[in-house]
Structure formats: structure tokens, C-alpha cells
Amino acid sequence: MTRLKVALVAIAGLLLSGCGYNSLQAQDEAVKSAWSEVLNQYQRRSDLIPNLVATVKGFAAQEQAVLIGVTEARAKTGSIQLTPELVNDEAALRRFQQAQGELTQALKSLFAVAENYPELKSDANFRDLQAQIEGTENRIAVARNRFIAAVQQYNTTVRSFPSNLTAMLFGFEVKPNFTVENEAAISTPPVVDFGAPPGTPPAPPSTSAPAPTN
């Protein structure tokens, strides 16, 4: 009887391994690990922002519109609860992406406005914070790419035969991923009019067609 039990366990193990169960487990853990690194880099950026805003405020206190925009965008990202389960909720992931995209755009506007203040650009603290945030943006891009690849591999296993049968049996479902569409809106650099009076918000890009010429 003992030998029979051992044989059944061995057979069950071989069947589970052959039908993709172990791959699903490993790839699910890889997605969780990649997502944790994404959150880690976004949190690092968020932690740097208060010092950056304080430094800019010391040199360009009149740029309230931009400073308030960065602060509010950071607060919005902080209002979203960052949990491992977020990666399984498509609507929550979309809100997370949108909030992080707005913060990215706000930081772009802040750095663009800073170009109009030579003393600020030459401040060592500002340069250090700017370099740290720019470095974090690069780490975010790397972490996002690794997460996208991990989700793609996991979703392929979930949808492929015969592992899709195992996925249905054990409740493994397709996970949402980052979307390219949301990135298109934040990839455009902000338009800043350095001829405008200090404190004037950056003008939006013009969408009107040029006047016809005779």
C-alpha cells in the first residue's frame, strides 16, 4: 500500500509538471517580483519629489502653478494603494498608470521651467536631485520592461495548450499589462514660454491649422 501511494504521488507530480503547473507557479512569482520592483522605483521617485520641490521653491517661489501641479500629482499617486493584488486588477492598474503618467508630465514641466533660472540650475542640491530623478526614470523604464516581459510569458503559458487546462483548473488567469496608449500622451515634452511673466502656467501646444497664405 505504501509503495502504491508513493507511485501515485510520483505519477501525479509528473503529470502536474508536464501540464504546465510548475511553469505557471514560477512565472506567477516572476510577475510578482517584477511588479514589486516597478513599485519600488516609483516609490523612490515619489520620495525624492518633496526635496526637489522645496529646492525649486527656494529659487523660484513665484512658479506656484508648476510647483502645485507636481505636489498634487504626487499626492494623487500616493492615494492609490500599492498592493501586489493591483497587478491582477485591470481597472486599478489603468488608474495607477494614469496617475504616474500625470506625475511624469508634471516633473517634465518643472524641469523645463527650471531652465529659466540660471541660479537654480547651478545649485548643487538641485542638480543632484535632478540626476537622481532622471536616474530613477531610467530604472522605472527597465523595471516596466521586465514586468511587461514577465506578464507576457505568464499570459502565453495561461493561454497555451495543455497548460491552459491546468490554469483553468487551478484558477490562474490572464494578467493585465501596461498599455502603450497611455504612454503616448506623456511622451510629448511640455511647451514652456520663457517670454511669459514668471508664474504663468506653460501654454498648451497649439492644435489650430496655420492660416493660408496668398
pLDDT digits (tens, 9 = 90+) for 70-86: 999 999 998 887 676 77
pTM score, whole prediction: 0.75
Grid coordinates of 59: 529659487
The neighbour count for residue 89, using CB atoms within 10 Å, is 14
Which residue from 142, 105, 136, 115 is spatially nearest to 59, judged by alpha carbons? 115
Confidence bin at 2 (pLDDT 50/70/90): low
Confidence bin at 16 (pLDDT 50/70/90): low
Distance, in Å, from the CA atom of 46 to the CA atom of 53, rounded to the nearest integer, reads 11
Residue 189 · residue 112 · CB < 8 Å: yes
pLDDT digits (tens, 9 = 90+) for 28-83: 999 999 999 999 999 999 999 999 999 999 898 888 899 999 999 999 998 887 67
At 1 the pLDDT is 59
Average pLDDT over residues 123-128: 93
Residue 101 · residue 76 · CB < 8 Å: no
- Cα Rg of the chain, angstroms: 24
Q: What CATH topology corresponds to 21-186?
A: de novo design (two linked rop proteins) (1.20.1440)
Residue 24 · residue 158 · CB < 8 Å: yes
Residue 77 · residue 46 · CB < 8 Å: yes
**Domain ranges (residues) in the chain:** 21-186
